[in-house]
Structure 1
Amino acid sequence: MATSRGEAAGAPQTLSPAGTGPILFALGGDGQDDRLRALVVCPDDAPPPALAAENRPVEAVSLLTAFGRTVHAYNFTLPSGTVGTYTVDGDTFRVTSPATAPMRIAYVSCNGQEAHDLDRPLTERDAVWQLLADEQHRDPFTLLLQGGDQLYADDVLHCHPEVERWAALAKTERGIVPLTEEIGEALRRFYFERYLITYSRPAFASLAAHVPSIMMWDDHDIIDGWGSHPPEMLDSPIGRAIFAAAREMFLVFQLATRPDTMPAIVSDKTGSNLGIVVRYPGLSIIAPDLRSERRLERVMGENGWAMLDAAFDATPHGDRIFVMSSVPALGPRLSWAEFIADALPRTNEYEDDLRDQWQSRTHRVEWRRFLAKLASWPESGHGALTVLSGEIHLATRGEMRLKAGGILHQLVASGIAHPAPNKAYPVVLGLLARFGESPLKGRKIRIRALPDYPTTYASERNYLVVARNDRGWTAEWELEMRGRTPPLAI
């Protein structure tokens, strides 16, 4: 099966009639074997393709059959510390183990835009994806971390006339629109088909067949600002159906599991929080779910916090931890911006966006708890920790001074496909960032420019590369216009 099932570069983005995949997912490794899962989507009247890992046949398992297609999963292992191969219907794919030295990890976020995402020619939309795919061919990556907004599903609000009516009402009045089976299926179809379009684009498809992904969702994988809206909207019949459809397809297409089961990498087996942990010797990747339990007054519920605590408790001492926080954990003070949004006319439309951030005054107690958890790992001498984040459609970095000395780094890469915002946005954020922030006593937070970049926030599309070699870990950003930044030791 070919890796590219997408449309021609200049054509409208539509659902391919052929298959999609393979899309490779990382499940962790023990130093002997790396555990992997490949997804392939076929017409439901076609047999699953033949997959073999190192010439060993692998059985296909059906995850979901819907809308004329079946999603197949293949679980297999490849030897750690080397370059392994697997084949799909005779096509061979090379996979570089995370146990190799040096190790290279790519991080991306914000794969789309809020409206008319499918109208953009792929040569423009996926220009930075193509840079990443070209780099993979020159110098292979071991992991592809996707930190949120993989989908940009906001067009789901146009998938049915009654959903459009629901979206046009005031948020507090949306409970009056009833849910029907037809609406529910329209929602499910939208998310299902949007994933297929997303995963079939040529640059992504070529990457995803060779580099295993670890993914965590954010609001646009559901709808813009999900969780930071009034309960009358979130708990309305259609609101609940939107979340249920988005969650079902997130489980299938981003966690690569049946929607009625929890994969081993999900720590909360109740299913109310879908935070995950993926481990390799000396490396733990922790991705808390900041959407499933989010409400106006909270980011995570009890299950989310229990997942995070358990993930840290189970991490071997000495591990390098990468925490994927879909919204930045280190950021400028937002209380003044929230005050303005509350006080001035025509600015309260931004209140949901501000409420989405850890730094919102509403989440300040919870934010301190999150920062204390992050700081506890290096301050206890257990190992190094770095936060990887996106969401803001800019590239930047943050530093938090630790009590025991040293720095906790946050690296922000956003977005891989979202257009760069207007020039006022990074300027305003840069002004707020000048004041610094100290939510935890004795641990000053500062937002810093990328190496050799003239402003605090880089308003260019971008991706991040973190690498390990015999001298330690470094970070570099690839910027669409300016190119590669000098390496930053982390």
Structure 2
Amino acid sequence: MTIPSTGPMLFLRAASPDGMRVAATCLRPQDAAPPRFATDRDLKAEALVTRAGATLWRVMMDLPLGRATYTCDGTEYTVATDTTGDMTIAFASCNGQERGDLDRPPEDRNSMWAHLAKRLDDETIPLLLNGGDQIYADEVTQAHSLSEGWPKNVPHNLTGSEWSDLRDALAKAFFERYATQWAQAGFADVVARVPSLCVWDDHDICDGWGSLRRRAQTSDVAKVLYSAAREAYLLFQFGCTRTERPEICLQGSEALSWRVDLPGVTIVAPDLRATRDKRKIMSDDAWAAFRPALQDTQNRTFVISSVPALGPRLSLVERAMKLTPRMEDYEDDLRDQWQSYAHRAEWQRFLSALMKLHDEGDRRVTVLSGEIHLAMRATMRTDTGPLHQLVASGISHPAPREALATCLSLLAKLGEAPLKGHPIRLHGLPDKTRPYTAERNYLLLRRTGENWDARWQLEDSGETNALPI
């Protein structure tokens, strides 16, 4: 395939009262000249990798406070860089679908991205939080005969030549997938003007990564698949090579958890995929790196949990599914969740850490999640007031049937309290009566003075009223 010229795409490295530092990437044919970037001066682009007939380039830019501009190959882009006062942060997740994602009419697939892009003409948004499943890479395994039977039918061990052949094929397939998807109209319009922070989820690797059966997860094919997906994630969602570790990432673990501090706001994103298996969500090393990230935070802390941290009693459904072999194919979807019976102790540990920070002084913690292809919200009772969770999921993934939203809303009535005395409650979005809303969506977090509120932009219902958080 011919890879289209793509970009620029901006990635936040730091924000301060002086402005922003961002990495900007773009793709060009490998025989083309490097892209020409400039701010108040010309900037030299460096090649990160050449693959599949294209080169991914990067420049680092320091953008001054206010509405900064830069040019790429003569096209000018404006970036809102002021995070010191009133501002809006966008949050989105699930940018694709499992099969035939790029075969859909682009106007339909990207309609919510186009909506967000149009909003930028009237509203300054200095940051886009990408909450997981930025790419649906499930079909990448079809690129080689050794992986096309994934995850049920793959060889457990590979020879040296098989390993390298598979590695090359999967690396090329991930590269082509990202390149094609990153060029999508709407999405490309947003990410050239709004710096991103990204956390990955399973579809950025493969469906159910970390929750699959042990034989598949420990195979050589799995190791090659994960390595290729991780490199592509670093290239296309951080703007760095596989040998670099972005400065925002926490040290001491294989996991790519990160923390970014803005004026008055801390954003923490634990990596819930890199070290996951059927019995744990984060390894001991990942936990050891994550705990200090919840110390000395700003008054407002947003924690991105790629799978919802507050939810209904899904463990009941998970146990029921084990009673019939016909339902075992869906077991990994429930094992993915914090609420799985296999993860209950770790879930309690996670919620305790969030609640401890939430109850310190005048700090407030809000959890942001995606993954479920629905919009919803929940609260957990704490001694100092409710800890909010906001879920925006499915910016381009088709909305599920209304029946799923109805069933989950009924399940939510059972209640859940993994921490004794701190019950979790699910609530309807503003103006909605049931907890789950089956529409494509993205989320807006607005700070006015010292106060924050949340609004969901829903595909059919429009923008909700503000929810104070």
| Both proteins in one fold, TM over 0.5 | yes
1:213 aligns with 2:193: no
Tell me, in whole angstroms, the C-alpha distance in 2 between the residues paired with 1:384 and 1:255. Answer: 27
Q: Which residue of 1 aligns with 2:233?
A: 250
Q: Which residue of 1 aligns with 2:349?
A: 369
- What is the aligned counterpart of 2:283 among 283, 301, 314? 301
Provide the secondary structure at the position in 2 that maps to 1:157.
Answer: helix
Provide the secondary structure at the position in 2 that maps to 1:182.
Answer: helix
How far residue 15 of structure 1 moved from its aligned partner, in angstroms, is 5.2
1:175 aligns with 2:156: yes
Tell me, in whole angstroms, the C-alpha distance in 2 between the residues paired with 1:193 and 1:325. Answer: 28
1:178-189 equivalences under 5 Å are 179-189=162-172
Q: Which residue of 1 aligns with 2:56?
A: 71
Tell me, in whole angstroms, the C-alpha distance in 1 between the residues paired with 2:371 and 2:462. Answer: 21
The answer for unaligned runs of 5 or more in structure 1 is 1-13
How far residue 453 of structure 1 moved from its aligned partner, in angstroms, is 1.0
CA contact (8 A) 1:157 1:167 kept: no
Q: Which residue of 2 aligns with 1:47?
A: 33
Q: Deviations over 1:297-323 (max 9, x none)?
A: 00000221122112112x34x431111
Q: Which residue of 2 aligns with 1:199?
A: 182
1:212-291 equivalences under 5 Å are 212-270=195-253, 272-291=254-273
Provide the secondary structure at the position in 1 that maps to 2:417.
Answer: strand
CA contact (8 A) 1:268 1:304 kept: no
How far residue 382 of structure 1 moved from its aligned partner, in angstroms, is 5.2
1:80-479 equivalences under 5 Å are 80=65, 82-169=66-153, 174-175=155-156, 179-270=162-253, 272-313=254-295, 315-316=296-297, 318-381=298-361, 383-403=363-383, 405-470=384-449, 472-479=451-458
Q: Deviations over 1:119-144 (max 9, x none)?
A: 10111111111111111222121111
Provide the secondary structure at the position in 1 that maps to 2:326.
Answer: coil
- What is the aligned counterpart of 2:46 among 61, 77, 88? 61
How far residue 62 of structure 1 moved from its aligned partner, in angstroms, is 2.1
Tell me, in whole angstroms, the C-alpha distance in 1 between the residues paired with 2:119 and 2:330. Answer: 37
Tell me, in whole angstroms, the C-alpha distance in 1 between the residues paired with 2:420 and 2:44. Answer: 54
Provide the secondary structure at the position in 1 that maps to 2:377.
Answer: strand
Tell me, in whole angstroms, the C-alpha distance in 2 between the residues paired with 1:174 and 1:399. Answer: 45
Tell me, in whole angstroms, the C-alpha distance in 2 between the residues paired with 1:25 and 1:135. Answer: 20
Tell me, in whole angstroms, the C-alpha distance in 2 between the residues paired with 1:327 and 1:166. Answer: 23
Q: Which residue of 2 aligns with 1:7?
A: none
Tell me, in whole angstroms, the C-alpha distance in 1 between the residues paired with 2:451 and 2:328. Answer: 45
Provide the secondary structure at the position in 2 that maps to 1:84.
Answer: strand
TM-score scaled by structure 1?
A: 0.92
How far residue 100 of structure 1 moved from its aligned partner, in angstroms, is 4.7
How far residue 165 of structure 1 moved from its aligned partner, in angstroms, is 3.4
Provide the secondary structure at the position in 2 that maps to 1:229.
Answer: coil
1:36 aligns with 2:19: no
Give the 4+ runs in structure 1 shifted more than 4 A: none
Q: Percent identity, aligned pairs only? A: 44
What amino acid is aligned across from residue 371 of structure 2 in structure 1? Answer: E
Tell me, in whole angstroms, the C-alpha distance in 2 between the residues paired with 1:166 and 1:112. Answer: 20
Provide the secondary structure at the position in 2 that maps to 1:26.
Answer: strand
How far residue 91 of structure 1 moved from its aligned partner, in angstroms, is 1.3
How far residue 146 of structure 1 moved from its aligned partner, in angstroms, is 0.5
Provide the secondary structure at the position in 2 that maps to 1:28.
Answer: strand
Please give the root-mean-square deviation of Cα atoms over the aligned residues, in Å: 1.6
Q: Deviations over 1:141-189 (max 9, x none)?
A: 11111000000000012112232134452xxx74166634222211001
Tell me, in whole angstroms, the C-alpha distance in 1 between the residues paired with 2:450 and 2:431. Answer: 21
CA contact (8 A) 2:3 2:29 kept: no
Aligned residues: 467
What amino acid is aligned across from residue 355 of structure 1 in structure 2? Answer: R
Tell me, in whole angstroms, the C-alpha distance in 2 between the residues paired with 1:293 and 1:63. Answer: 26
How far residue 79 of structure 1 moved from its aligned partner, in angstroms, is 1.8
Go from structure 1 to structure 2 and tell me whether the alpha carbon gap of 1:451 and 1:58 turns closer, same or farther (over 3 Å shift). Answer: same
Go from structure 1 to structure 2 and tell me whether the alpha carbon gap of 1:277 and 1:15 turns closer, same or farther (over 3 Å shift). Answer: farther
How far residue 290 of structure 1 moved from its aligned partner, in angstroms, is 0.4
Q: Which residue of 2 aligns with 1:6?
A: none
TM-score scaled by structure 2?
A: 0.96
Tell me, in whole angstroms, the C-alpha distance in 1 between the residues paired with 2:286 and 2:208. Answer: 19
How far residue 241 of structure 1 moved from its aligned partner, in angstroms, is 0.6
1:26 aligns with 2:9: no
Provide the secondary structure at the position in 1 that maps to 2:21.
Answer: strand
What amino acid is aligned across from residue 156 of structure 2 in structure 1? Answer: G
Tell me, in whole angstroms, the C-alpha distance in 2 between the residues paired with 1:166 and 1:137. Answer: 44
CA contact (8 A) 1:174 1:232 kept: no
Go from structure 1 to structure 2 and tell me whether the alpha carbon gap of 1:74 and 1:30 turns closer, same or farther (over 3 Å shift). Answer: same
CA contact (8 A) 2:373 2:397 kept: yes
Tell me, in whole angstroms, the C-alpha distance in 1 between the residues paired with 2:252 and 2:382. Answer: 33
Tell me, in whole angstroms, the C-alpha distance in 2 between the residues paired with 1:469 and 1:33. Answer: 19
Tell me, in whole angstroms, the C-alpha distance in 2 between the residues paired with 1:442 and 1:28. Answer: 39
CA contact (8 A) 1:413 1:464 kept: yes
How far residue 268 of structure 1 moved from its aligned partner, in angstroms, is 2.5
Tell me, in whole angstroms, the C-alpha distance in 1 between the residues paired with 2:69 and 2:252. Answer: 32
Tell me, in whole angstroms, the C-alpha distance in 2 between the residues paired with 1:239 and 1:486. Answer: 45
Tell me, in whole angstroms, the C-alpha distance in 2 between the residues paired with 1:188 and 1:92. Answer: 32
CA contact (8 A) 2:67 2:82 kept: no
